[in-house]
Chains A and B, each alone.
Chain A
Amino acid sequence: MKINSHIIKQHGIKTNEYKKIVKLIGRDPNMLELGIFSAMWNEHCSYKSSKKYLKTLPTKNDKVIQGPGENAGVIDIEDNDAIVFKIESHNHPSFIEPYQGAATGVGGILRDVFTMGARPIATLNSIHFGDPSHKKTKNLLNGVVSGIGGYGNCMGIPNLGGEVKFNSSYNENILVNAMAVGLVKKNKIFYSKAKGINKSVIYVGSKTGRDGIHGASMASAEFDENAEEKKPTVQVGDPFTEKLLLEACLELMKDDSIISIQDMGAAGLTSSSIEMSSKGNLGIEIDMNKVPCREENMTPYEMMLSESQERMLLILNDGKEESARKIFMRWGLDFSVIGKTTDTKILVLTFNDQVVANLPLSSLSTDAPLYDRKWKKNIELKKIDLPKKFQSENLSKSLKKILLSPNNSEKSWVWEQYDNTVMGDTIQIPGGDAGVVRIHGKNKAIAITVDSSTDYCLADPTSGGKQIVCEAWRNLISVGANPIAITNCLNFGNPEKEKVMGQFVETIDGIKQACQYLNFPVVSGNVSFYNETNNNSISPTPTIGGVGLIKNVNNMMTSNFKEVGNCIFIIGKTLGHLYQSEFFKEVIHFNDGPPPKVNLFNEKNNGYAVLDLISKNLVESVHDVSSGGILLSLVEMCIKGKIGANISMPKTNLNKHEYYFGEDQSRYIIEVKIAHVKKLEKFLAERSIFYEEIGKTQKDEIYMEKELKININELVELNTNWFKKFNT
């Protein structure tokens, strides 16, 4: 077929980009080569719009073993143990085909983790849907949740929850961000960089089919009303094969057979072979006749661009082929030597003894386009007037409204569809501030959280970016973990629009500031642009996955109130910030104004103070104050503990709505035994931490003089009601 402008456009390649290709290789590419360029140069694989800014993020601290650039990030958790983790988006496929899209999202991120030699020990996800009343939402929610469960449950990896949110900005572009966490010995980490000439390149796993062709290019363009037609670009997952692949790979990794290994994820065989060889500064030759195919008469074009799941590419040491083959055969998987490494720095593909592609690797990696896109600063939000008469809203009714709202409802309908306890080391199941898994056979554990805050980021991306890193940090602190590092998934609209690019640039700046200050670096992640349909982009949504270490599992903390008669304290100053709060959004339907400001100094001090209180055994329960303010966080502690509270407002010049529903940052609620109060106050005073007492735990009901008197059972009922009704 002759390449014309129509074909070039179909491949998502811009005219100037095509000119660059011709210049780089000194001729017109053939169809296969054009396909390969399309796979490598699209936004999803090349990070051409984001690289400039991603480079500014802090990626190191004394615990980081591997930062961005590998299949996943790696951190040190002592005793020769390391944690491998990453979050990735699977937004576009999940909107087109929710079950398979979400399932293969989980499958893909798990491969990223076990490619590095780690056994996955937990998964989490952040999923965002449109307005619950939108016609597609229910179907998408059901499909995504059962897809995540279908894949993860079969793999036998506990799901520790994450978040489920609704916002009309996702009506035509849902977000499915999946995170996986694995455990590896520090001296047994595997990397993707190829080494040595004339080494066998081996394909293992499933056969290659015609599914997912151009998946990565599809995820690098916006949708229109014909999005459904893109269904064939969605991959189909087989978790059973992935479980076999996991066991076979980990078995082979026990010795030193493998030089390097890379999973075939986005852009399949193309990106894996190119990344491995170009990282190693080598060349690679592949005989396409050797690629195991699921269907007959597949062309090299289809093989190179298929995103069939559950496949890996290995480069083995000399003489290890036969023992490796035996392992894969035993697990019933394909094993095929498809090529070898060379010193040419060229990618050569042959098919039926003909050279069908011949491209310098630099043209696909280092020479790929990089853009410094134009961007527009977000308009500085002026302090607008507070809406009228919000002070006359009844506190009790307002609380009930918030508890009943989709975003604040209890989400057990979702996470009860995920196996949370397989592997036998889950200490905190979903529903707390963070999930916690013990390191098998040891006395330590890791805490994991996934967070995002759409409205804050839309109102002010810099502030929102900062806030969301802090929220993840706070969630880890709340369970008694020392926060170590994060992975991020940056979901945005079309970066060719100055406004969207501005949101991206500013969000990154916010993330950077918080990560730097908190020594909480980014070790992995991905960027998902083009989340838009018919010109409407989603609200900017950075999702942060945080990981922390609990050195002694006995110091793990939970958020449920423990006993009647204990004191309840707020750590951190309440300033009464109501703009962008759940109270304004859900009760008086007011959506303007800036998000709460984050004071990084207070964040760090308050956080470390709480962590010390936990390790000194001075607190019985801890919960961070986030959306919904003090009152909602308090109610969550009551619901989880089935214990009430008698509260009153401390001396303040705020009105009660500002005090109880304000969403100021860097705050925690703690439960303290009366006998520990003196010690606690002394400790906090020494550290100059602001704190105040707001009441005591009591039996059965939450009570505030003249304002509130609600039984716990009623709170539970309200909080679980919405999901029950939405999905019968």
Chain B
Amino acid sequence: MKSSVIVFPGSNCDRDVAVALEKFKIKNHMVWHEESILPKSDLVVLPGGFSYGDYLRTGCIASKSKIINEVIKHSKNGGLILGICNGFQILIETGLLPGTLLRNKKLRFISKNVFLKVENVNNVFCKYYKEKNLIELPIAHNEGNYFANKYLIEKLEDLNLIAFKYCDREGKTENNSNPNGSSNNIAGILNENKNILGMMPHPERMIDPYLSGEDGSILFKSLFESLLK
């Protein structure tokens, strides 16, 4: 069970996610973006932050990094990839996930805890959300407004590729529980092979019952169990 966290200039959740991975017994390597070889990994994580200061377009410059070619190869071979927040934005820019992430509807940064409905539990990331599919995680982003044309949205819905949707505390996914204007309240999506997950919320910030809760732990436990096999 090995993971690699890619560190870009401006990444700032790299340490946090490494702490989470290690807490759940996944042996992790930090990999600098200029590397051309990816250490043997079952899972690659693109962490949150402001890679390249969000200049040009969020995730855009990072998607052209040297290591990204290796990350793409890794995905083609069926390796797992998790992109959180800026990592999700990078996945979109590399084309590994479809759609786009626009600025939040109110054009303001949003940092708060949100409720999420886990829409797909039949994947290695979300397996253990079977028992608890209404969860709470923090979001902290400026560009998390998922947008795609209606055919793509329909496809995501039909193929059950939406992993998380923003909802209220009762689990209703309505407009008033949508923090950033995302189409269909989308907070995270999977690729068709379900080996890539991109999500705006931060599971790595919810791994301590004392601090805030453990709804993020479930994702890392699912990953650990899946990687065991």
List residues 120-143 of chain B with CB under 8 A from any CB of chain A.
138, 140, 142
**B210 CB to nearest A CB, Å:** 6
CB neighbours of A153 from chain B (8 A): 50, 109, 111, 140, 142
CB neighbours of A424 from chain B (8 A): 16, 19-20, 204-205, 207-208, 211
Residues A243 and B10 in contact, CB atoms below 8 Å apart: yes
A102 to B9, CA, bound (A): 24
> Which of chain B's residues has its CB closest to A420's CB?
B111
Residues A416 and B55 in contact, CB atoms below 8 Å apart: no
Q: Known pairs A149-B109, A153-B50. 19 more at Cβ < 8 A? A: A150-B109, A153-B111, A239-B53, A240-B10, A243-B9, A243-B50, A244-B10, A418-B111, A419-B140, A421-B111, A422-B16, A422-B48, A424-B16, A424-B19, A425-B211, A427-B210, A427-B211, A438-B211, A554-B210
A438 to B16, CA, bound (A): 14
CB neighbours of A438 from chain B (8 A): 211
**A89 CB to nearest B CB, Å:** 24
**A296 CB to nearest B CB, Å:** 23
CB neighbours of A419 from chain B (8 A): 109, 111, 140
CB neighbours of B12 from chain A (8 A): 154-156, 243, 422
> Which of chain A's residues has its CB closest to B49's CB?
A156
List residues 403-429 of chain A with CB under 8 A from any CB of chain B.
412, 415-427
User: CB of B212 within 8 A of chain A?
Assistant: yes
User: CB of B108 within 8 A of chain A?
Assistant: yes
User: CB of B221 within 8 A of chain A?
Assistant: no
Of B9, B13, B50, B111, which is in contact with the most chain A CB atoms at under 10 Å from its CB?
A: B111
Residues A553 and B210 in contact, CB atoms below 8 Å apart: yes
Residues in chain A within 8 A of chain B (CB atoms): 146, 149-150, 153-156, 238-241, 243-244, 331-332, 412, 415-427, 438, 553-554
CB neighbours of B204 from chain A (8 A): 424
A243 to B14, CA, bound (A): 13
26 residue pairs of the A-B complex, CB under 8 angstroms, read A149-B109, A150-B109, A153-B50, A153-B142, A154-B10, A156-B12, A239-B50, A240-B9, A240-B50, A240-B52, A240-B55, A415-B111, A416-B112, A417-B108, A417-B110, A417-B111, A421-B140, A422-B12, A422-B13, A422-B205, A424-B207, A424-B208, A425-B211, A426-B212, A427-B211, A554-B210
CB neighbours of B117 from chain A (8 A): none
A412 to B112, CA, bound (A): 9
User: CB of B202 within 8 A of chain A?
Assistant: yes
Contact with A along B191-211 (1 / 0, CB 8 A): 000000000001011011011
A583 to B111, CA, bound (A): 33
Residues B53 and A154 in contact, CB atoms below 8 Å apart: yes
User: CB of B54 within 8 A of chain A?
Assistant: yes
**B6 CB to nearest A CB, Å:** 15
> Which of chain A's residues has its CB closest to B53's CB?
A240
Residues A244 and B9 in contact, CB atoms below 8 Å apart: yes
A415 to B140, CA, bound (A): 11
A156 to B85, CA, bound (A): 13
CB neighbours of B207 from chain A (8 A): 424
A332 touches which one: B9, B48, B212 (CB < 8 A)?
B9
**A311 CB to nearest B CB, Å:** 17
**B16 CB to nearest A CB, Å:** 4
Residues B109 and A421 in contact, CB atoms below 8 Å apart: no
CB neighbours of A149 from chain B (8 A): 109
Known interface pairs A244-B9, A421-B111; A238-B16 also in contact (CB < 8 Å): no
A391 to B54, CA, bound (A): 57
CB neighbours of A423 from chain B (8 A): 15-16
Residues A331 and B10 in contact, CB atoms below 8 Å apart: no
CB neighbours of A420 from chain B (8 A): 111, 140
A421 touches which one: B10, B138, B142 (CB < 8 A)?
B138
Residues B138 and A146 in contact, CB atoms below 8 Å apart: no
Residues A418 and B109 in contact, CB atoms below 8 Å apart: yes
A420 to B15, CA, bound (A): 16
> Which of chain A's residues has its CB closest to B138's CB?
A421
CB neighbours of A244 from chain B (8 A): 9-10
**B94 CB to nearest A CB, Å:** 20
A149 to B111, CA, bound (A): 10
Contact with A along B62-99 (1 / 0, CB 8 A): 00000000000000000000000000000000000000
> Which of chain A's residues has its CB closest to B216's CB?
A424
A244 to B49, CA, bound (A): 13
A424 to B217, CA, bound (A): 13
A332 to B61, CA, bound (A): 15
**A582 CB to nearest B CB, Å:** 27
> Which of chain A's residues has its CB closest to B137's CB?
A421
CB neighbours of B54 from chain A (8 A): 154, 240
**B142 CB to nearest A CB, Å:** 8
A420 to B140, CA, bound (A): 8
**B175 CB to nearest A CB, Å:** 16
Contact with A along B1-27 (1 / 0, CB 8 A): 000000001101101100110000000
Known interface pairs A155-B12, A422-B13, A422-B205; A417-B53 also in contact (CB < 8 Å): no
CB neighbours of B112 from chain A (8 A): 412, 416
Residues B111 and A238 in contact, CB atoms below 8 Å apart: no
Residues A146 and B10 in contact, CB atoms below 8 Å apart: no
A438 to B202, CA, bound (A): 18
**B47 CB to nearest A CB, Å:** 10
CB neighbours of B13 from chain A (8 A): 156, 422
Known interface pairs A153-B140, A240-B50, A240-B52; A421-B212 also in contact (CB < 8 Å): yes
CB neighbours of B138 from chain A (8 A): 421
**A199 CB to nearest B CB, Å:** 30
Residues B109 and A238 in contact, CB atoms below 8 Å apart: no
> Which of chain B's residues has its CB closest to A425's CB?
B211
**A426 CB to nearest B CB, Å:** 7
A681 to B178, CA, bound (A): 48
> Which of chain B's residues has its CB closest to A413's CB?
B108
**A385 CB to nearest B CB, Å:** 47
A417 to B109, CA, bound (A): 5
A418 to B110, CA, bound (A): 7
CB neighbours of A421 from chain B (8 A): 111, 138, 140, 202, 205, 212
**A76 CB to nearest B CB, Å:** 25
A425 to B48, CA, bound (A): 16
> Which of chain B's residues has its CB closest to A423's CB?
B16
> Which of chain A's residues has its CB closest to B112's CB?
A416
**B161 CB to nearest A CB, Å:** 28
Residues A426 and B211 in contact, CB atoms below 8 Å apart: yes
> Which of chain A's residues has its CB closest to B12's CB?
A156
A425 to B210, CA, bound (A): 10
A424 to B19, CA, bound (A): 9
> Which of chain B's residues has its CB closest to A424's CB?
B16
A137 to B207, CA, bound (A): 40
**B133 CB to nearest A CB, Å:** 22
A240 to B55, CA, bound (A): 9
A116 to B9, CA, bound (A): 22
> Which of chain B's residues has its CB closest to A156's CB?
B12
Of A156, A243, A427, which is in contact with the most chain B CB atoms at under 10 Å from its CB?
A: A156
**B82 CB to nearest A CB, Å:** 16
A154 to B212, CA, bound (A): 23
Give me the 5 closest cross-chain CB pairs, A-B, nearest first: A156-B12, A240-B53, A419-B140, A154-B50, A424-B16
CB neighbours of A239 from chain B (8 A): 50, 53
CB neighbours of A415 from chain B (8 A): 111
> Which of chain A's residues has its CB closest to B142's CB?
A153
A331 to B9, CA, bound (A): 7
A620 to B207, CA, bound (A): 25
A241 to B13, CA, bound (A): 17
**B113 CB to nearest A CB, Å:** 8
**B33 CB to nearest A CB, Å:** 11
List residues 16-48 of chain B with CB under 8 A from any CB of chain A.
16, 19-20, 48
CB neighbours of B109 from chain A (8 A): 146, 149-150, 153, 417-419
CB neighbours of B111 from chain A (8 A): 153, 415-421
A294 to B13, CA, bound (A): 31
A420 to B111, CA, bound (A): 7
CB neighbours of B20 from chain A (8 A): 424
**A725 CB to nearest B CB, Å:** 15
